[in-house]
Amino acid sequence: MGRLFGTDGVRGVANADLTAEMALGLSVAAAHVLAEVGTFEGHRPVAVVGRDPRASGEFLEAAVVAGLASAGVDVLRVGVLPTPAVAHLTGSLDADLGVMLSASHNPMPDNGIKFFARGGHKLADELEDRIETTYRSHASGEPWDRPTGAGVGRVRDYAEGFDNYVAHLVGVLPNRLDGLKVVIDGAHGAASRVSPEAFARAGAEVVTIGAEPDGLNINAGCGSTHLARLQAAVVEHDAALGVAHDGDADRCLAVDSVGREVDGDQILAVLALAMREAGTLRGNTVVGTVMSNLGFKLAMRREGVELVQTAVGDRYVLEEMKEHGYALGGEQSGHVIALDHATTGDGTLTGLLLAARVAATGRTLADLAGVMERLPQVLINVPDVDKSRVSSSADLAAAVAEAERELGETGRVLLRPSGTEPLVRVMVEAADIDQARSVAGRLADAVKSALG
């Protein structure tokens, strides 16, 4: 039986893999585990619960709220808000627990549950393991110790969460965005209201697309995984830049004024230099992952900024940042963590900080992003394979060694199992795009053959 918790909470097809019963049970288990470790000691516990607009989020939210309240936890239900908003409100309201229902960039039928600890930080692995163990033991029949009478949790809607979060975002900006036209693609997701409102309050002229969620259209042909609509809209409206979120808005990709993509590595490069200039880039260091483009690494070396690389996953970036006190880190996918202002990746904040740099310098986004040259990078997702055997297959190891010999020092290869989906990711970087595609194609075939 595999581990329920992946790198970003529990995910699966809603009502098939992730059921109402599981959502309720995990919530009760989380409440009991946090009580056992002393999180609730001396006070009545409070949880913040939010979701993205997926249709399944409605019944999963009801299950989570019921589970928490049945375990004696008071619930503040904030409704449809981004993941980083739930994290922020968990911290700012001094709540004991945050729960977000979202499958981020995954397609609409999927959903997920992510828990935040006190302060708005992701739960430690050992706590997730304890929650899972507790959940499984009770799912097999062991009865819960349940409060009664006044001991049960109370539930209320917390509509103020929207304004509190937007005010926080605007309040941390180093300068206003007056005179800047920005196109925002909300992916028909959790930031559909928040992001346009925050940019407008900061002074930008806002054009909005992908901001009409109906519960079924989240991430569908829009947002950070489908940039074509945003690229066209930026050119059509003669905007300075475009910002694209994913379904739960914990990530941000951008588009420059002529419609070219600006990815997470480029955004990190721009923000790193801005923060160094402002004296806020602690340790003169930015944290990336092993997926960071080689061009990013070369640019930071040229600019005299240290780059620390971690395993793939924003939780590992965050762990490195917290352990060593770094202020900026993120992933090529657009998860950017500005730790002075957020406890997790925040797509709206990232877009605002990027736009603020454009406004402050008077330079185009293309000019700012030009600090680094992206080397050609090909990523192939190989589905329907046994991702648990990536590191143990001798045939696959031989195929990777051959690819690395062919690329030499001008490129690199990375194979890794997805932490959130049932597939293996094949990444090849090379100075020449045709070579990268050729090598990646061969390796993808090797993965199918060895692990299929």
Catalytic residue IDs: 104
The sign of the CA dihedral 173, 177, 183, 186 is: positive
344 vs 25: CA distance, rounded Å: 25
In sequence order, which residues have a C-beta less than 8 Å from that of residue 31 and are 6 or more positions away?
A: 45, 47, 67, 68, 71, 72, 73, 97
313 vs 68: CA distance, rounded Å: 28
- First CA to last CA distance, the chain: 19
416 φ, ψ (degrees, to nearest 5): -155, 140
The tokens for 296 are 């990013």
Residue 113: strand pairing partners: 10, 101
The rounded radius of gyration (Å) of the Cα atoms in the chain is 22
CA-nearest of 259, 190, 204, 252 to 225 is 252
Q: Are 79 and 92 in contact (CB under 8 A)?
A: no
Place of tokens 């595609």: 437
Q: Are 396 and 442 in contact (CB under 8 A)?
A: no
What is the three-class DSSP state of 63?
helix
In sequence order, which residues have a C-beta less than 8 Å from that of residue 283 and are 6 or more positions away?
A: 306, 324, 325, 326
Q: Which residues are annotated as a binding site for Mg(2+)?
A: 104, 246, 248, 250
CA-nearest of 157, 347, 174 to 252 is 347
Q: Which residues are annotated as a binding site?
A: 104, 246, 248, 250
385 φ, ψ (degrees, to nearest 5): -130, 165
Q: How many CB atoms lie within 10 A of CB 342?
A: 23
Q: Are 46 and 93 in contact (CB under 8 A)?
A: yes
The three-state DSSP-derived secondary structure of 214-258 is CCCCCCCCCHHHCCHHHHHHHHHCCCCEEEEECCCCCCEEEECCC
